[in-house]
Amino acid sequence: MAAALMDGELGSVLKVSAAIWAAMWYARLAAARISPGAGRLAALLPAVVLFFGIPFAFTTTTFRGSSAFFLSWLGTFKLFLLAAGRGPLDPSLPLLQFVCSASLPVKLRQSTTTGGKAKKQDPASVAPAAKILVAGAVIPFTIYAYQFKEAMSRWQLVLVYTVHVCLSLELLLASVHAVIHGVLGMEMEPQVDRPYLASSLRDFWGRRWNLMVPVILRPSVYGPVRARFGDAAGVLASFLVSGLMHELIFYYLTWMPPSGDVTAFFVLHGVSAGAEAWWVRHAGWWRPPRAVAVPLTLAFVAGTGFWLFFPAMIRGGMDELVLQECQGMVVLMEQAGRWFAAGAGPVLSTR
């Protein structure tokens, strides 16, 4: 049943992809002909509505969650920035790059070349392949661990689910990077930068974790609020918006009304980041050494995450749904492998 469900989602992916291409062709054309402002915003609203509605086209949490993050959050914010004449989208971009920039959590950069020859591949470009291998090898163990959930404490289950979700996100982003590199010949800006080395909350959220989010929130929320009300208000507004958008994503995943816990998590971090900045400005003569600051930062992120953020992921039996979908995906991969082997067999036998 799970395999049939995942198989049915592939048809939805094709329909959604066609709708995105049509909408982004229209958005690019409208942005090229209408100056930034209210008129361009009105012209782009149909694409915004489409992005908010796309998660409803899917029946599995895997595709609903991914489309909600990629389109309903990041994609709509990119369209709002485009309406103001800012952000990563530009009507002068080729259509393929415009569509990828609008619908995927990426910030594209041109691959560098020297003397007409590609530069030697650096470790960063090899990282996606390594992440795919590591995540692909470890995720089955987390799926297997779910079989013993009845014997686990609540916190053990949250830990297993957290590892599963983080690895799935790494696998998803690394796969997107591989496609972008292969199709466009371009690189993605790094999405994470060793978050385990974060020495402060601002360092963690602004420079190390899920970097596409601060790239979008800075010009759309932080900058305008900071200009009117100051830095602390800009920081708090950014975290509040992030919390509300996470609540929306969890609604798409569970079809349950928001509990407010996820928003509380981000507001707490916004207040704490503001207090952290105040301390640096007014008590700059003393800061904890990095060897102390890093563990304190990670402990705060992990502790508050286990308290407020991750429990929302297992509300309404969402962990059971994800487990069934993962099992269905494994079955589909096995079927694809058999189909490929069956098709490759006659070819190999003729050589």
Residue 113 lies in a domain: no
> Of the candidates 106, 139, 172, which is a domain's last residue?
106
Task: For residue 307, count CB atoms less than 10 angstroms from its CB and return exposed for 0-12, middle for 13-18, buried for 19 or more.
Answer: middle
242 and 300 in a single domain? The answer is: yes
Same domain, 1 and 89: yes
Residue 116 covered by a domain: no
pLDDT tens string 243-268: 999 999 989 988 888 889 999 999 99
- Asked which of 161, 188, 215 is the last residue of a domain, the reply is 188
How many structural domains compose the chain? 3
The single-letter code of the amino acid at 125 is S
Largest separation between any pair of C-alpha atoms in the chain = 77
Contact 239, 266 (CB under 8 A): yes
Q: Which pLDDT does position 330 carry in this prediction?
A: 54
Q: Within 13 A of 307's CA, how many CA atoms are on the CB side?
A: 12
| Per-residue pLDDT at 211 | 85
Q: Are residues 52 and 17 in the same domain?
A: yes
Distance CA 124, CA 104 (A): 20
> What pLDDT is recorded for position 269?
96
Contact 3, 335 (CB under 8 A): yes
Residue 329: predicted pLDDT: 56
- My answer on whether 197 and 311 are in the same domain is yes
97 and 1 both lie in a single domain: yes
**Domain extent at residue 147:** 123-188
38-53 vs 2-33: helix axis angle to the nearest 10? 170
Q: How far apart are the C-alpha atoms of 258 and 351, rounded to whole Å? A: 60
Same domain, 42 and 98: yes
- Both 87 and 41 in one domain: the answer is yes
Tell me, yes or no, if the pTM score tops 0.85: no
Residue 333 lies in a domain: no
User: With a cut of 50, which residues of the chain have pLDDT below it?
Assistant: 1-4, 112-126, 344-345, 347-349
Q: How far apart are CA 118 and CA 120, in angstroms?
A: 6
Query: In angstroms, rounded to a whole number, what is the distance separating the alpha carbons of residues 153 and 149?
Result: 8
What is the distance between the alpha carbons of residues 128 and 170, in angstroms, rounded to a whole number? 9
Question: How many Cβ atoms from other residues are within 10 Å of residue 105's Cβ?
Answer: 24
230 and 301 together in one domain: yes
Q: Are 105 and 74 in contact (CB under 8 A)?
A: yes
Q: Identify whether residues 204 and 176 lie together within a single domain.
A: no
